[in-house]
Amino acid sequence: MIKEIERFQAVSDSGNKYTVLIYQKFIDASTAEDPNKYIPGIKSARTLDGQPLNRIDDKSFEIVETGEIITRI
């Protein structure tokens, strides 16, 4: 299962503003004792309009399709 775990605003050097969504995959780790157990997996990031992002650091991301760098505000 994939869940949105965070949402924030970011801006590019040219002043374009974006909403960034951070998603995390949760892996089914169910057992007989705990049938609803999930463990956190990999995270991914996209803009609100669906553009995939590469994380540069805690505050910076690159829009894959354009190469534009955006920074969390």
**Looking up tokens 């780790």, which residue turns up?**
29
Tell me the backbone φ, ψ of residue 42, rounded to 5 degrees: -70, 150
Residue-wise pLDDT tens digits, 9-43: 999 999 999 999 999 999 999 999 999 999 999 99
The mean of the pLDDT values for the chain is 97
Would you give the distance in Å from CA 2 to the centre of its chain? 11
3-state SS assignment for residue 71: strand
What pLDDT score does 10 carry?
98
Question: The whole model's pTM is what?
Answer: 0.88
